[in-house]
Amino acid sequence: MFLTDDGIRLNLKLDRPEQPAGGKCPLAILIHGFTGHMEERHIVALARAFNEAGCASLRVDMYGHGGSDGEFGKHTLYKWLNNALTVIDYARGLDFVTDLYLSGHSQGGLTAMLAAAMKHDVISGLIPLSPAWMIPGQARQGIILGQRFDPDHIPDVLPPWRYTGLEGNYIRVAQTIHVEEAISRYHGPVLIVHGEQDADVPVSYAVKAAELYHDAQLVLIPGDTHCYDHHLDQVTEAVKVWMMERPRASGS
Ligand code: FER
């Protein structure tokens, strides 16, 4: 299924829980990370976890990723944020949807945090998974993907560090984003899940975000990595349990 966001086709996949035909249910939007896509093992498992909790899942390939339009090198957090706003508005209009939840992994988790701040009145719960919310602060300090650069002299195209072709505009955009401000604008319930051995996003950021949010629960997974190579079942279980604890809108 495709949705068009200002001329960019976004690849979406909707999975509804097993339930009587015509039944209403909540829906969780699920956003992959930097260089990721909707068919990654952990993203598919999380979509299924939402379904098992009686919640539809809507996986999205973001600009320049997976089956969506756009070039990877030209993606920025602003483009991802616009994609997220478009997908949220689409999901709100689906007739079976009661409440809307927003989830994402890593850079998708950061995107979910920023979009939840903008759409705080329509997002019933936020589930950032190993959210890479250090990206903006590190971009200002001159660190990206573990590499150092001069934050005041950004090249048009970054050197081929871990990935080739990423344009400097990615960093210029990230430098403008202030995540603490976004965190303070979202007052709904939050579940943060993070592997304690994450080598890409330090677990300290999950701890800090859980402190800053008004109503957050933090689940740390001992021994696990950025993409949950060892204990994905614990991640999906945490999401499932938290979702089943949510109050359901009447009529569902
Ligand atoms: C970075 C560290 C982590 C970064 C991106 C990530 C672009 C995101 C990882 C992911 O989404 O999985 O410095 O810079």
pTM (two decimals):
0.97
Higher pLDDT, 203 or 164: 203
Q: Please compute the mean of the pLDDT values over residues 64-74 and round it to a whole number.
A: 98
Alpha carbons 36 and 174: distance in angstroms, whole number = 18
pLDDT band (50, 70, 90) for residue 251: very low
Report the chain's C-alpha Rg in angstroms.
17
Å from CA of 146 to ligand 1 middle: 9
**What per-residue confidence (pLDDT) applies to 252?**
45
Structure tokens at 241: 């349990």
| Percent residues over pLDDT 90 in the chain | 94
The gap from C-alpha 89 to its chain's centroid, in whole angstroms, comes to: 16
Out of 135, 148, 161, 173, mutate this one to test ligand 1's pocket (max ligand atoms within 8 Å of CB): namely 135
Supply the pLDDT for residue 19: 79
CATH for 2-244? 3.40.50.1820
| Number of Cβ within a 10 Å radius of residue 212 | 15
Mutate to test the pocket of ligand 1, among 201, 226, 228, 229 (most ligand atoms within 8 A of CB): 201
For residue 130, what are its two tokens?
Answer: 């190993």
Q: What is the pLDDT of residues 140-157, one digit of tens each?
A: 999 999 999 999 999 999
* Amino acid letter for position 185: R
Ligand 1 contacts CB of residue 145 (under 6 A) = yes
Contact between residue 171 and residue 139 where contact means Cβ atoms under 8 Å apart:
yes
Atom of ligand 1 nearest to the CA of 143: 13
Cα separation, 74 vs 77, whole angstroms = 10
Could you tell me if 75 and 64 are in contact, meaning their C-beta atoms sit under 8 angstroms apart? Answer: yes
Domain layout of the chain by residue ranges: 2-244
